[in-house]
Every structure is written in structure tokens, then in C-alpha cells.
């Protein structure tokens, strides 16, 4: 094995990465890199261990070590910043297996010292003087010989090495330094030979436990003249994972019925390994699980059936259950002991089967059960349906649906999409676009989740009392800018400020705890101030006077109104109040200037049409998920989440963020849609709704929640909401409904 200087290096160009090349070393030798640099090394080179770097002086000194594989031909060091002052020597040694001591000293004078206690043994000493001044003429102490000198922009580096000194406290003194205001650093390390005697081989290797896929081995401790550091484990002659420190280990990932050679050796801290002792093991063949017992129907409805069964038994690890309907798999690894089939036909007999599956994919025989759904009828159509348009709303009213079970709610559809539900016989669809024709429908839903044929009406929302003359139009109440109204008055918006710009951000004074429902985060938008300014031109003096009166009546000082901005491809709106008195200045007998200042406390600009979605777990305990895709660029889009029973201890998880809203332990919602918990993500308010004969008004219900993270909000893009909870014993399926609108900054 060679003992040599493999390479020397002195940086000449300003670069972050310095690469040192050398001829391949002898496998098993120690490569030692002694490095000096103006900027610190950002990351250790792969495969090299930094064993010493003294925290003295202005510049940096590093000692790295690596066990050679024989294929190394270079090593690269990346600095914090580019610089030419990077010097190094690469040594290859066979007597430097590990670091035995390290020391350093510094000076601004003509000599520098470093003192260390040298242990017993032998090896090699390496020293480096860094940050020396030009003109120095170093004199090394006995035992050290200079190997390389390198000059740099800010420093000179001197590298030396020598024989191992006698044990005990030793001081190395280097003279000949030129005095300077910057410290010169002397670093000295000793790398010595390690223990050369391997441990004894472990005795009494044996199998403690075995499964079809794993064996646990044990053995008696080995002995060593210095000390056993650990044990290597081998599978079919190949080392299996890192060394272990104890006298037992488990080998996993085996195949049932196949024979393996397993072995163990001992290793000491010098890396000496004992002979490997081996035994042969053959894992048992995994048997399939027993069939699930006591398959039974726990609920039979008109369109749903819930079955349950007792836990199956397996010799190793049960993975779940396969659930089949008329021979077709619904799930192949269901984790629970209960399952609900939904969407069934009424009065039909079905074959339900369940088998058990283990982690190897072995399946049991199937347990079978025939179940006949209730021959109930679907709810009747909720006729007659009346739909009355007024402004931008349609008011709906309908007759009660009749069903042989119980009607639990009515779904409201707008152009084929569900936009809301109610237990009442009336509903108002708002925020519609004037002049547009809509198809509105109402259908009944019974406790078996059966849906009636919808009652349908085609309704045209009245057109606005004005005609657009420019885009966008700005609408507040009965007034609209960039239009000609029904009285012949032309309203031109000459300047707009605040609607198309984002309000500034204000940072909260204090962070609110995540569990108390307070607002938190890096900041929030201030209220949005919107200023519209323009000219109105009337056909007559009388029309001008009446136009001014209508503008003043569009929004009273204490009234909250809606500002709707209709652009070419989108319509957005915001709740506003007057921010200042409406200004009116006559130009002549037919025209006047006007200024309308509005303030939106909630600065978001919302889409006109809402987004509605709902989730319903098929069985409890279990989960139901709904995906809500939202457009816009506001980072936290508000919405209203409503939970209906029957459910106990519900949780709502926003999957993308991982945030969870959780009910307090013991909170139960019954199987009656009139009982529900409403969570407003914008105001952070929680309301409990109960039947009107109990309390006609919703009750504040923040106390029902154990956790309401302040950052829980909907986001632009995909939002996956998961409802989970426990069963209450009542029939019915719980629901989570989501009402939201796309929102922009």
C-alpha cells in the first residue's frame, strides 16, 4: 500500500468550486485532505468526513478523511463565495486509520504554538500554517517536514507532516512568521493505526420467532481485545442493512416457504470483522384468513343497505375485507367491520358477500347474505312550483312532497346544478344576472336518499332598466354607470379607482392562537375604497334633476349595498357602504358631474354565482370527501360549511393544508336536518340551528368546537374537504355542505 502525497493544489482563479485531481489510490488506504481557504466550505464532498476544523483565525482550515475504494481520481470543494485563495494537500496513507488527537493555536507575532496530549500508538502527524504573511520563512519543529507551500491573494499556506511523537503532552512551535495584524493559525492533527485484532465470532446463533415474512434472530455476545462495536447481519451471503448494536435483529421481507442462509459477524471500532456464522431458516407458508363471521344486515332501506360482520382471524396479518354485491367487488381491502351499499333499487333482492384478505393477498372464503331492499316509493314531485323573479332574485315556493318514508330535505337546482338545500317549502335564489333565462328545479330527498322527479320552471330575470354604453358597467341598487337609463340619462364613468387595484396589507398586532379561532398569518388586506367619478347628461332639465335624486337614493349612508361590475367576460361584486357623501356638481342645465365613494370592508371581489357541493360518509365510523374547485387569486377564500347529522364527534379536514376543524368530545347532531352546525370561514362565527319551535333564531355555538384553526380557509384551485365522525345509532347519512364563491384580490 502506497504512502505518498497524492496531490497538491493552489487556487489561481476566483471560483466557488475547486477540483483536485490525482491518480487512483490503493483500495483500503486512507485519503487525508488538508485544506485552507479564505471562504468556508459550504458542503462536505460526498464520501469524505470532515474530522477537524479549528475555530481560530481569520481564514479556515479543514481536515477530511476517506477510506479509498481505488476508483477515486478527484475531489471537489464548493465554497460559500468565489475566491482564488484555496490550498490543499491530499495524502494517501496506510497507517492513518482514525483521528487520535487534534490541536490548534494562533498568533499575530513571529511564532505560533499548539499543544496536545499524544496517546499511545503510532501513525502520522499533519500540520498546516494558514494566513501567514508574505515574507515569512518558517522553521518547523523536529519531526515535521514541509511538504508544500502555496500563496494566495490574502494569505500564504504551509503544509507539513512527520512521524508520531512519544506519548504525553507535546507542544509544536513554528517560528519564522512575519508579524501581522491578522492571526496566523497552526493546526496539528495525528492520525493513528487502529486495533488490528478482530473480535471472536458470535456464538449460538438461533431463531427466536418466525412468521411467513420475517425471522427474529438472537446470538451470544462476541469478545474483543478492545471492545465490540456491533454486529453485521447477512442474508444469503449479502450484508443486510447497517450494523446493529444489540444481540438480536429482525429480518423482514421474506417469502413464505423459501429457505434462506442468515448469518452474523462481530465488528470492533477499528472495522475488524470476525468470521460470519450462519444457519438456514425457512419461513412458514402463510395461510389464508378464516371467513368473516356473523354477516348480518344492520340497516335496510329503500335504496341503501348496511351490513356488518365479526372480525376474521389470520395466522399473520389481516389487511382488510372484500365487499361484493351480486358477485361484483365494491371494495377489496375495506378497513372496517361495516359497509353501506347505496344507490340500490327499491324492493330488489341482492346477494351480499364479504371475505377477508391478509397482507400477502390471500383471501378467505366468502360469507354470503341475501338482502331485499324496502319496496318504498320515491317521493312525489313537489308541485305546484311557483317561481317569481324580482330584481336579481327568483323566489321559489312549492307544495310538500309525499313519501312512504320521510322527506328530509329539498334540493334547489339552477340550470341543472344543485345550489342549495332546505327543509322549508320556500327558497330564494339570489345574485342572478338580469335579462338571463334560467331553468330552476326543486326535488325532494327522503331518508333513504331517494330523490323525486324535479318540479321545473323556466324563469327570465327582468332585464335591467338601462342599456350599457361602455364596458364595464358599475351597478349599485337601481343605478348603473356607463349606461343610458330608462329616463334617457347617460351615465359615463370617467375615472375608477380601487376596484381594479389591490388594497394594501396590514399586519395584525398579535398572532392569535390557532385553536381559538382568531385571525392569524402574515397579514391581511385593509378595506377596499372604490371611487367612481363621471358625468351624467340628461335630455331635459327635469330629467337631470330627477337623475340627481335617483343617484342620491341609490345607497343611503347607513345602508349596505351591492356593487356589481359587469365586464366583457366576467361579472364580480362586493358588499359596500358609502364612504363619503355623494358629490354632485352642475355643469349646465342638462349635465352634471358626480363622485361616488364606496367602502368594502371585505375587500374580496366575488363571483356572482355561488359554488355548492356536499359530502356524505357512506358509513360511520368512516369518511366522505368532496372536491371544490375554485377560481380567483385571493389566497384565503371564505365559505360556509354546514354539518348535518346523524353524527357524533365530527371532524372536517382540509386535505391540501392538513388543517382540521373538530367538534368537542360528546357533540352529537341528530338525524334531523333542522339540527345543524354552520361554520362561517369569513367571520369565524359558528351557529347552531335548531327547530323553530325550540328556538326560532340560530344560537352562537363556538363552544361546540374543540379546534377551529385560524388558517382554515378555502384556497384558489383544488380543495378537498373530508367529513369524518362516529355513528350515533340513528338511521340516516350525515352531510357536509359547502357554500362558497370564487374570489379575487
Encode pLDDT of 272-305 as tens digits.
Answer: 899 999 999 988 777 889 999 999 999 887 778 8
Which is more confident, 739 or 696?
739
Calculate the alpha carbon distances from 6 to 18, 22, 33, 124 in Å: 16, 6, 10, 16
Rounded to the nearest angstrom, the gap between the alpha carbon of residue 429 and the centroid of all alpha carbons in its chain is 36
Which is more confident, 637 or 472?
472
All cell numbers assigned to 22: 490525482
Query: What CA dihedral angle connects 148, 44, 187 and 141, to 10 degrees?
Result: -30
- How far is residue 191's CA from residue 348's CA, in Å, rounded to a whole number? 84
H/E element holding 543?
helix 541-553
Is residue 452 over pLDDT 70? yes
Is residue 586 over pLDDT 60? yes
Any residues with CB less than 8 A from the CB of 665 and at least 6 apart, and which? 649, 706
All cell numbers assigned to 161: 507532516
Determine the longest span between alpha carbons in the chain, in angstroms. Answer: 116
- How far is residue 719's CA from residue 654's CA, in Å, rounded to a whole number? 7
Shortest CA distance to 287 belongs to which of 316, 252, 258?
Answer: 316
User: According to the model, what pLDDT value does residue 505 have?
Assistant: 61
Q: pLDDT for 360-405, tens place per residue?
A: 788 999 999 999 988 877 888 999 999 999 878 889 999 999 887 7
Residues pairing with 417 in the sheet: 414
Shortest CA distance to 554 belongs to which of 602, 585, 592, 594?
Answer: 594
Is residue 509 over pLDDT 50? no
Is residue 130 over pLDDT 80? yes
- The upper half-sphere exposure of residue 556, i.e. CA atoms within 13 Å in the direction of its Cβ, equals 2
- How far is residue 694's CA from residue 445's CA, in Å, rounded to a whole number? 24
Contact 211, 131 (CB under 8 A): no
Question: What would the mean pLDDT of 491-498 be, rounded to a whole number?
Answer: 93
Coil, helix or strand at residue 646? coil
Shortest CA distance to 544 belongs to which of 588, 582, 494, 581?
Answer: 588
Is residue 513 over pLDDT 80? no
Contact 40, 55 (CB under 8 A): no
Any residues with CB less than 8 A from the CB of 721 and at least 6 apart, and which? 615, 625, 626, 628, 641, 652, 653, 654, 655, 736, 738
Confidence of residue 520 (pLDDT cuts 50, 70, 90): very low
Contact 147, 162 (CB under 8 A): no
What is the end-to-end Cα distance of the chain in Å, rounded? 71
| Burial of residue 50 (number of CB atoms within 10 Å: 0-12, 13-18, 19+) | middle
Rounded to the nearest angstrom, the gap between the alpha carbon of residue 441 and the centroid of all alpha carbons in its chain is 39
Any residues with CB less than 8 A from the CB of 630 and at least 6 apart, and which? 611, 637, 714, 715, 716, 717, 719, 740, 742, 743
Contact 201, 170 (CB under 8 A): no
All cell numbers assigned to 104: 490548534
Question: What would the mean pLDDT of 508-518 be, rounded to a whole number?
Answer: 42
User: According to the model, what pLDDT value does residue 140 have?
Assistant: 95
Q: pLDDT for 710-745, tens place per residue?
A: 889 899 999 999 999 998 877 778 889 999 988 888
Confidence of residue 613 (pLDDT cuts 50, 70, 90): confident
Shortest CA distance to 198 belongs to which of 292, 114, 268?
Answer: 268
User: According to the model, what pLDDT value does residue 393 have?
Assistant: 86
Confidence of residue 506 (pLDDT cuts 50, 70, 90): low
Rounded to the nearest angstrom, the gap between the alpha carbon of residue 338 and the centroid of all alpha carbons in its chain is 31
Coil, helix or strand at residue 342? coil
User: According to the model, what pLDDT value does residue 51 have?
Assistant: 94
Which is more confident, 32 or 153?
32
Which is more confident, 710 or 91?
91
Confidence of residue 680 (pLDDT cuts 50, 70, 90): very high
Contact 493, 474 (CB under 8 A): yes
User: According to the model, what pLDDT value does residue 451 have?
Assistant: 86
- How far is residue 382's CA from residue 446's CA, in Å, rounded to a whole number? 12
- The upper half-sphere exposure of residue 470, i.e. CA atoms within 13 Å in the direction of its Cβ, equals 11
Any residues with CB less than 8 A from the CB of 545 and at least 6 apart, and which? none
Q: Grid coordinates 373530508 are at which residue?
A: 722
Lowest-confidence pick of 190-204, 507-521, 598-612:
507-521
Confidence of residue 516 (pLDDT cuts 50, 70, 90): very low
Q: What is the mean pLDDT of the chain?
A: 88
All cell numbers assigned to 632: 380567483
All cell numbers assigned to 205: 446463533
Is residue 58 over pLDDT 80? no
Is residue 507 over pLDDT 80? no
All cell numbers assigned to 720: 378537498
Rounded to the nearest angstrom, the gap between the alpha carbon of residue 248 and the centroid of all alpha carbons in its chain is 38
Is residue 522 over pLDDT 80? no
384: number of Cβ within 10 Å: 10
- How far is residue 732's CA from residue 301's CA, in Å, rounded to a whole number? 10
Is residue 197 over pLDDT 80? no
All cell numbers assigned to 41: 466550505
User: According to the model, what pLDDT value does residue 309 have?
Assistant: 96
Query: What CA dihedral angle connects 91, 95, 100 and 103, to 10 degrees?
Result: -30
Q: Grid coordinates 358629490 are at which residue?
A: 583
All cell numbers assigned to 533: 367619478
User: According to the model, what pLDDT value does residue 194 have?
Assistant: 59
For 101, list phi and psi in degrees, rounded to 5: -155, 160
Contact 329, 614 (CB under 8 A): no
Is residue 350 over pLDDT 90? yes
Shortest CA distance to 583 belongs to which of 539, 546, 534, 544?
Answer: 534
Which is more confident, 577 or 405?
577
All cell numbers assigned to 535: 358625468
- The upper half-sphere exposure of residue 376, i.e. CA atoms within 13 Å in the direction of its Cβ, equals 24
Is residue 348 over pLDDT 60? yes
| Burial of residue 248 (number of CB atoms within 10 Å: 0-12, 13-18, 19+) | exposed
- How far is residue 511's CA from residue 505's CA, in Å, rounded to a whole number? 15
User: According to the model, what pLDDT value does residue 314 have?
Assistant: 86
- How far is residue 262's CA from residue 284's CA, in Å, rounded to a whole number? 16
- Degrees (nearest 5) of the Cα angle 564, 568, 574? 20
Q: Grid coordinates 356607463 are at which residue?
A: 482
User: According to the model, what pLDDT value does residue 275 have?
Assistant: 94
Amino acid at each position: 500500500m502506497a504512502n505518498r502525497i497524492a496531490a497538491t493544489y493552489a487556487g489561481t482563479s476566483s471560483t466557488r468550486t475547486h477540483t483536485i485531481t490525482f491518480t487512483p489510490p490503493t483500495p483500503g488506504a486512507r485519503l487525508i485532505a488538508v485544506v485552507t481557504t479564505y471562504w468556508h466550505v459550504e458542503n462536505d464532498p460526498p464520501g469524505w468526513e470532515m474530522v477537524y476544523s479549528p475555530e481560530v483565525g481569520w481564514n479556515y482550515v479543514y481536515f477530511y478523511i476517506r477510506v479509498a475504494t481505488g476508483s477515486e481520481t478527484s475531489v471537489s470543494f464548493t465554497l460559500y463565495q468565489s475566491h482564488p485563495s484555496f490550498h490543499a494537500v491530499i495524502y494517501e496513507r496506510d497507517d492513518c486509520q482514525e483521528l487520535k488527537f487534534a490541536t490548534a493555536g494562533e498568533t499575530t507575532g513571529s511564532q505560533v504554538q499548539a499543544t496536545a496530549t499524544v496517546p499511545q500508538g503510532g501513525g502520522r502527524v499533519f500540520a498546516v500554517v494558514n494566513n501567514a504573511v508574505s515574507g515569512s520563512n518558517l522553521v518547523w519543529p523536529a519531526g515535521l517536514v514541509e511538504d508544500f507551500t502555496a500563496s494566495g491573494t490574502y494569505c500564504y499556506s504551509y503544509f507539513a507532516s512527520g512521524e508520531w511523537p512519544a506519548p504525553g503532552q507535546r507542544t509544536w512551535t513554528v517560528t519564522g512568521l512575519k508579524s501581522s495584524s491578522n492571526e496566523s493559525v497552526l493546526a496539528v492533527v495525528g492520525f493513528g493505526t487502529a486495533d488490528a485484532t478482530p473480535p471472536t465470532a458470535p456464538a449460538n446463533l438461533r431463531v427466536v420467532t418466525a412468521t411467513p415474512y420475517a425471522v427474529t434472530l438472537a446470538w451470544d455476545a462476541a469478545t474483543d481485545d478492545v471492545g465490540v462495536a456491533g454486529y453485521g447481519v447477512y442474508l444469503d451471503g449479502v450484508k443486510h442493512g447497517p450494523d446493529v448494536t444489540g444481540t438480536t435483529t429482525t429480518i423482514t421481507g421474506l417469502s413464505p416457504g423459501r429457505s434462506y442462509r442468515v448469518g452474523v459477524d462481530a465488528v470492533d471500532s477499528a472495522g475488524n470483522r470476525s468470521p460470519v456464522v450462519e444457519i438456514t431458516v425457512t419461513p412458514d407458508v402463510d395461510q389464508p384468513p378464516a371467513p368473516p363471521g356473523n354477516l348480518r344486515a344492520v340497516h335496510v332501506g329503500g335504496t341503501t343497505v348496511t351490513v356488518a360482520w365479526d372480525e376474521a382471524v389470520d395466522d399473520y396479518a389481516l389487511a382488510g375485507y372484500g365487499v361484493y354485491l351480486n358477485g361484483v367487488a365494491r371494495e377489496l381491502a375495506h378497513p372496517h367491520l361495516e359497509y353501506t351499499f347505496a344507490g340500490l333499487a327499491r324492493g330488489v333482492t341482492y346477494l351480499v358477500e364479504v371475505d377477508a384478505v391478509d397482507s400477502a393477498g390471500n383471501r378467505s372464503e366468502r360469507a354470503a347474505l341475501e338482502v331485499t331492499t324496502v319496496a318504498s316509493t320515491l317521493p312525489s314531485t313537489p308541485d305546484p312550483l311557483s317561481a317569481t323573479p324580482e330584481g336579481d332574485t327568483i323566489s321559489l315556493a312549492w307544495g310538500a312532497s309525499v313519501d312512504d318514508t320521510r322527506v328530509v330535505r329539498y334540493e334547489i337546482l339552477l340550470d341543472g346544478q344543485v345550489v342549495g338545500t332546505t327543509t322549508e317549502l320556500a327558497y330564494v335564489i339570489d345574485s342572478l344576472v338580469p335579462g338571463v333565462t334560467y331553468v330552476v328545479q326543486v326535488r325532494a330527498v327522503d331518508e333513504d336518499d331517494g330523490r323525486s322527479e324535479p318540479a321545473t320552471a323556466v324563469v327570465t330575470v327582468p332585464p335591467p332598466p338601462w342599456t350599457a354604453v361602455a364596458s364595464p358597467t358599475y351597478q349599485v341598487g337601481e343605478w348603473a354607470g356607463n349606461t343610458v337609463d330608462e329616463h334617457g340619462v347617460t351615465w359615463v364613468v370617467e375615472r375608477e379607482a380601487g376596484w381594479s387595484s389591490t388594497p394594501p396589507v396590514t399586519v395584525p398586532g398579535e398572532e392569535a392562537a390557532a385553536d381559538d379561532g382568531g385571525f392569524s398569518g402574515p397579514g391581511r388586506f385593509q378595506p377596499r375604497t372604490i371611487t367612481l367619478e363621471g358625468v351624467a347628461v340628461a335630455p331635459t332639465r327635469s330629467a337631470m334633476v330627477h337623475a340627481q335624486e335617483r343617484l342620491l337614493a341609490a345607497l343611503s349612508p347607513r345602508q349596505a349595498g351591492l356593487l356589481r361590475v359587469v365586464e366583457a367576460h366576467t361579472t364580480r361584486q362586493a358588499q359596500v357602504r358609502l364612504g363619503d357623501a355623494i358629490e354632485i356638481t352642475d355643469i349646465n342645465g342638462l349635465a352634471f358631474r358626480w363622485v361616488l365613494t364606496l367602502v368594502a370592508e371585505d375587500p374580496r371581489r366575488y363571483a356572482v354565482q355561488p359554488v355548492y357541493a356536499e359530502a356524505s360518509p357512506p358509513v360511520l365510523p368512516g369518511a366522505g370527501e368532496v372536491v371544490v374547485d375554485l377560481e380567483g387569486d385571493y389566497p384565503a377564500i371564505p365559505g360556509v360549511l354546514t354539518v348535518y347529522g346523524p353524527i357524533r364527534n365530527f371532524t372536517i379536514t382540509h386535505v391540501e393544508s392538513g388543517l382540521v376543524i373538530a367538534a368537542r368530545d360528546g357533540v352529537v347532531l341528530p338525524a334531523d336536518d333542522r339540527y345543524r352546525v354552520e361554520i362561517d370561514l369569513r367571520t369565524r362565527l359558528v351557529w347552531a340551528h335548531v327547530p323553530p319551535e325550540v328556538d326560532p333564531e340560530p344560537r352562537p355555538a363556538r363552544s361546540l368546537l374543540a379546534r377551529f384553526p385560524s388558517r382554515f380557509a378555502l384556497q384558489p384551485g383544488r380543495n378537498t374537504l373530508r367529513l369524518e365522525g362516529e355513528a350515533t345509532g340513528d338511521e340516516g347519512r350525515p352531510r357536509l355542505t359547502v357554500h362558497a364563491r370564487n374570489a379575487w384580490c
